[in-house]
Amino acid sequence: TDGPDRGVWRYREALPFDLGVTLPEGDTPLHEAPRLEADVGVETLRIKHEGMNPTGSFKDRGMTVGVRVAEELGVGALACASTGNTSAALAAYGGRADLETLVLLPAGKVAAGKVAQASLHGARILEVDGNFDACLDIVQELAARGEAYLLNSLNPFRLEGQKTIGFEILEAFHADHGTYPDRIVLPVGNAGNTAALYKAFRELVRSGALDVDDVPKLTGVQAAGAAPMVEAVEEDADEIRRWEDVETRATAIRIGNPVNAPKALPGIRNTGGTAVAVSDEAITDAQRALANEGIGVEPASAASVAGLRKLRREGVVDADERVVCLTTGHLLKDPDAAYEAGNDPEPVANDVDAVLELLAD
């Protein structure tokens, strides 16, 4: 049953409510990936696959809490700007709570699976002639004018739910290895997860449950065509410089103004982590490598593995490290990207001999 003892709500003592609008979410696998581990060259590599949530991304963890708050406040309508996954989760959880949902998407830049979800779960979908950052500017203004309740990761209750990614990683990794991971590598868009994981670890340290020396190094990865966080980390800047022109095959993280940077930059710095940019080609290679281990992810998710590979090659990550890579969304979110990266189907006549002939080639 969808109760408080499963997934995200198992951690209710660290959350603002005992139970939310649940499908249920969380309790995602921490996969082994032995060939990838050997290929990257680290002591331990585990893949936390957030694509296994109800709508296929980590956004469900934040939405179960966020929609609960909206119910508490008695709002009538929910809204978000989105590169796709937030809109899918908002539509599903909002629908379950019988609330109206409005989503603003950058026209032509959202993967097909995500628009399909938002559509069928009943969101009103506005396709904006602009990028994600422009959509977020607009929806913030709508929220300020009282038109709808904002459920982007600017909403702190979203990040409360996303803290549970950190709790699950530490718990599962410790159960298998008797120790905590040295490093967690994750894709960065708005830097919500980076901020949420840092908050989770700080709370664990303050409560005495985790030694400060055991906090994993938070390591963010962006696509080279949308890397303002990497720029800020490299320049040791206190503030992000907004990129107006962004482009990447990993449309989920096609973001030029990471709104959670003020919370996420200290997380990267204070844990001894770093940030790195990767090419679209490296993302595609990592997506294939994960798929060869049976782990199907969308391009943005593969950025974590591509980033780890690059940092290992550069010697920033050591060979004796124990690493967890976060994969944030499911392969089926972006079927077009999967087709492009994978094998082409081969047409063949309706005939055994024709099939054998083709296979002999």
Where does this chain touch ligand F0G (CB under 6 A) — which range of 10-18, 269-277, 293-301, 350-358? Answer: 293-301
Q: Does 84 bind ligand F0G (CB under 6 A)?
A: yes
Q: How far apart are alpha carbons 233 and 116 in whole angstroms? A: 36
Site residues for ligand F0G, 297-326, by CB under 6 A, read 298, 300-301
Q: Among 336, 338, 297, 323, which residue's Cα sits nearest to residue 52?
A: 297
Where does this chain touch ligand F0G (CB under 6 A) — which range of 34-42, 78-86, 94-102, 338-346? Answer: 78-86
Contact by Cβ (8 Å): 219, 307: yes
Q: Which of 22, 64, 83, 117 binds ligand F0G (CB under 6 A)?
A: 83
Nearer to ligand F0G, 226 or 289 (CB): 226
Site residues for ligand F0G, 45-74, by CB under 6 A, read 57, 59
Q: How far apart are alpha carbons 298 and 51 in whole angstroms? A: 8
Q: Which of 164, 193, 219, 287 binds ligand F0G (CB under 6 A)?
A: 193
Q: How far apart are alpha carbons 128 and 70 in whole angstroms? A: 25
Q: Does 252 bind ligand F0G (CB under 6 A)?
A: yes
Q: Does 94 bind ligand F0G (CB under 6 A)?
A: no
Rounded least distance, CB 127 to ligand F0G, Å:
14
3-class SS at 80?
strand
Q: Which of 131, 190, 248, 284 binds ligand F0G (CB under 6 A)?
A: 190
Rounded least distance, CB 301 to ligand F0G, Å:
5
Instruction: Count residues near ligand F0G (CB under 6 A).
Output: 22
Contact by Cβ (8 Å): 158, 152: yes
Scanning 145-191, the segments in alpha helix (DSSP H) are 156-177
Q: Which of 253, 282, 289, 317 binds ligand F0G (CB under 6 A)?
A: 253
Q: Among 12, 86, 58, 254, which residue's Cα sits nearest to residue 78?
A: 86
Contact by Cβ (8 Å): 35, 27: no
Q: Does 166 bind ligand F0G (CB under 6 A)?
A: no
Rounded least distance, CB 3 to ligand F0G, Å:
27
Tokens found for residue 301: 């998710």
Nearer to ligand F0G, 33 or 255 (CB): 255
Q: Show the beta-strand stretches assigned E in 177-306.
A: 183-187, 217-223, 274-278
- Per the listing, tokens 């069928």 go with 120
Q: Does 200 bind ligand F0G (CB under 6 A)?
A: no
Q: How far apart are alpha carbons 256 and 240 in whole angstroms? A: 9
- Residue numbers of the site for ligand F0G (CB under 6 A)? 57, 59, 82-86, 153, 187-193, 252-253, 298, 300-301, 328-329
